Amino acid sequence: MTNATPIYPHGNVEEIANDVFMLRGSIKMNPLVRITRNMAIIRKDRELSLINPIRVDAKVEAQLTALGDIKNVIRLGCFHGVDDPYYVEKFAARMWAQPGGTTYTEPAIDVELSSDANLPFDDGEIFEFVGTVQPECALLINRDGGILFTCDAIQNYGDYSYNNLPAKILMPFIGFPKTTLVGPIWLKVLTKEGESLESEFRRLLSLKFDRLLAGHGTLLETGAHAAVERAVDKAFDSK
């Protein structure tokens, strides 16, 4: 079994809507900097789907398995995947991801994510970013006013908890202030030379959602659509 990936500081499982849960954690980017990272959990009957999975300690893994059976691992972004093999191998979970990513090529994809994918839970739809260098998507749960789950494309920072001290000091200076934002590093790396992804973010804004949980940062409890619109305006106002 894959067990070589470290377990970094993390919290407990929290319910944020009916059959929708989250867990806040972190990951080391280099020997000095540890940044925040989030996982979502969606339950249908006894079946759990982990969105942007994070390895946790035995106590919190017991919290997960108390919720239900881990059956699906869903990767929304090409740069998140280090902990996917652990859950796929230990729980025989199915791997869901868009094809074509080159950062994490294991585990093998069992079900390809797309806008017409038959998701393993109710009220969900996949938004695919078109024209990116690597695949990226978002997940919308159409309940409770709409909950948008993203990976790196859209992030929200209400505070810098789960970042270590060096990261807390650096974040405002490297493009990650305490606000909702288009991931600046993600945007630079995933935009093809001479092109723009503005139209894709404008298309994302056609979705109806009031809450946001990104792969990094904090849960935005309300007003997420307006916050994302402001972030998009700011990201592309000089491009």
Q: What's the CATH code of the domain at 172?
A: 3.60.15.10
Read off the pTM.
Answer: 0.95
In this structure, which amino acid lies at residue 105? T
> Is 208's pLDDT higher than 70?
yes
**Per-residue model confidence as pLDDT tens digits over 16-50:** 999 999 999 999 999 999 999 999 999 999 999 99
User: Phi and psi at residue 150, in whole multiples of 5°?
Assistant: -125, 175
Range of the domain at 184: 14-236
Whether residue 98 is contained in a domain is answered as yes
Whether residue 223 is contained in a domain is answered as yes
Whether residue 9 is contained in a domain is answered as no
Whether residue 75 is contained in a domain is answered as yes
- Cα–Cα dist 116/210, whole Å: 23
Whether residue 112 is contained in a domain is answered as yes
Q: Where are the beta strands (DSSP E) in the chain?
A: 14-17, 20-28, 34-44, 47-51, 69-74, 94-97, 111-112, 124-128, 137-141, 147-149, 154-156, 180-182, 211-213
Whether residue 109 is contained in a domain is answered as yes
- Percent helix / strand / coil, the chain, rounded to 5: 25, 30, 50
Whether residue 45 is contained in a domain is answered as yes
pLDDT > 70 in the chain, percent: 97
Whether residue 138 is contained in a domain is answered as yes
**Per-residue model confidence as pLDDT tens digits over 137-172:** 999 999 989 999 999 999 999 999 999 999 999 999
Give the total number of structural domains in the chain: 1
